[in-house]
Amino acid sequence: MTAPSTFGLSSEARNLHWLLSNLVEEVPGILSVAVVSSDGLLLLSSDPGRNTEAREASSEKPTGPRGSAADLATVVSGIGSLTIGTSKLMDFGPVKHTMVTMDEGSLFVMSISDGSLLGVHGSADCDMSVVAYHMALFVGRAGHVLTPELRSELRKNLETESTGSPR
């Protein structure tokens, strides 16, 4: 994982970057992570520099859905929207988390706060209960600080990183 630059960010934003990096590095089987806003925008990623062009230029095997943080954010947002709609239709209350297991891996989506979501792409051999536990810890630590101002700061930082322009 390439650590994103946190230079010039608020202490809350640096803490969220640290929490996300720690989640990926400490939990076996996690391949990539994305934090997505309620409107589907990527806010924070374990691999913010991996875009389509970098993936095509590299012979390295992708580690996320098609190797892109934006792809993971899109999938997480779509699944989040679908499960929220299902929850309303069935009148069972808010969605807490969603797991999708496939032959070659798993996808976990967990609500953070006011519609923001945490998405984790895990390997086929990851321990789902361990991943879910650590996701819950992340949500507990990040949920109360993910304010509209912080979401805006994270989004601007991600845009700056992807364009390579100075802050």
Token pair recorded at residue 159: 């845009």
Q: Give the pTM.
A: 0.81
Class of domain 17-163 (CATH, top level): alpha beta
Are 41 and 143 in contact, with CB atoms under 8 Å apart?
no
User: In Å, how far from its chain's centre is CA 71?
Assistant: 11
User: Between β-strands 30-36 and 42-45, what pairing exists: parallel, antiparallel or unpaired?
Assistant: antiparallel
What pLDDT shows up at residue 52? 37
How far apart CA 82 and CA 99 sit, in angstroms, is: 13
| Cα dihedral 124/130/131/136 (nearest 10) | 160
Q: Digits of tens for pLDDT over the chain (167 positions)? A: 444 556 778 888 898 989 999 999 999 999 999 999 988 889 998 875 543 333 344 344 545 444 577 889 999 999 999 998 999 999 989 888 999 999 999 999 999 977 899 999 999 999 999 999 999 999 998 888 888 888 888 888 887 776 665 54
What pLDDT shows up at residue 163? 64
